Amino acid sequence: MTGRRNRPLFFFYLLVCYVLLQFGWWTYLLVRNNREKATLQRELVLLQKTQDMQVAELSIKNQERKQWMMIAGEGAVFLMLLVIGIVQTRNSFRREAELAERQKNFLLSVTHELKSPLASARLQHETLMRHTLSREKQIEILHDATEDIDRLHSLVDNILLAARIDNSTHLVHPERQNISQTISELAEKARTTTLRAHHFSVQLIPEIFVSFDAIALHSIVMNLLENAAKYTPAASRVDLTLQKNTNQQLVLAVADCGLGIAPEERGRVFEKFYRIGSEETRSTKGTGLGLFIVRHLVEIHHWEINVLGNTGGGTRFEIYIPLTQQKND
């Protein structure tokens, strides 16, 4: 697969080598022709003996110098355009190859993400049908099945939302609401589902009112918490905070104690389908859409998002919300 994927790039480099060789040959011919022309002019002057030799030699040298300047100037411009074209084409090849790889990873991951909860829900359904269970056991199985359905629902929502973002058809409808209460409700939901295996800490400034789209904020918070849960070992700490900073901003932050993200990867984690590592060897769930959606929803609110290293290890996502949008009751 790797050889097949690199074949177009191989032919591209082969073509580049051919063009550069032709450029070198063209330069050599022009230089040789310029020298031959100057030599012929000198021989012609010697044969005719109709003018002063010093004046003739000076004229020939001036013409030769002009020819050299023309060759050098045109060659430099051509070479510059050629190098720019080669670099741009090579970068296009690499971007297409990376996108193809990410799309392949997305198909692999989404297939797994769809099959796992479907298989689990089917098994739970068959268990209820084939066995006589106590009421408590039935409720436990139904609760697990509901979680699988919620997981499928969240996955489908992310895929549809990413499609609307690509088509520029996604709109938000901000309204002035209590962001503290909304985040608190989302945190309680995550505590019993996504983060039930983690030590989940929540610290929120109460009664803060800003303008936001409730559905969009739900997607932002839940995607960040799900991302923290995926990359943080069970029983580790995950923190959700809403605080004020010294720049007249609210800071909504999600911090985990996982392996963290290398500085060179932090700018890319918001790209569509981008996930660190290879899909064949990756053990964490996901489709590479969550952070892409988060960044879009943050930007469409005219907020800002940043990813940092967490103190003591892990990753910290911070969303900056201008306090000019604030209005306390």
Which is it for strands 237-244 and 304-309: parallel, antiparallel or unpaired? unpaired
Class of the CATH domain delimited by 108-166:
mainly alpha
Give the pLDDT score at 281: 42
For the chain, the residue count is: 329
Per-residue pLDDT of the chain (329 residues; tens, 9 = 90+): 455 556 666 777 777 787 778 778 877 777 777 777 777 766 666 666 655 666 666 776 777 777 777 777 777 787 788 788 778 877 887 777 777 776 776 666 667 677 777 888 888 888 888 888 888 888 888 888 887 888 788 788 888 888 888 888 888 899 999 999 999 999 998 898 888 889 999 999 999 999 999 999 999 999 999 888 888 888 889 999 999 887 888 999 999 988 888 887 888 888 877 776 554 444 556 677 888 899 999 999 999 999 988 777 889 999 999 976 444 44
pTM metric for this prediction: 0.63
H or E element at residue 178: strand 175-178
Amino acid type, 132: T
Q: Does residue 236 contact residue 256 with C-beta atoms inside 8 Å?
A: yes
Class of the CATH domain delimited by 175-325:
alpha beta
Q: Does residue 288 contact residue 329 with C-beta atoms inside 8 Å?
A: no
Q: How are the residues of the chain apportioned to helix, strand and coil, as percentages rounded to the nearest 5? A: 60, 15, 25
Q: Which of 226, 2, 237, 165 is nearest to 97 (CA)?
A: 2
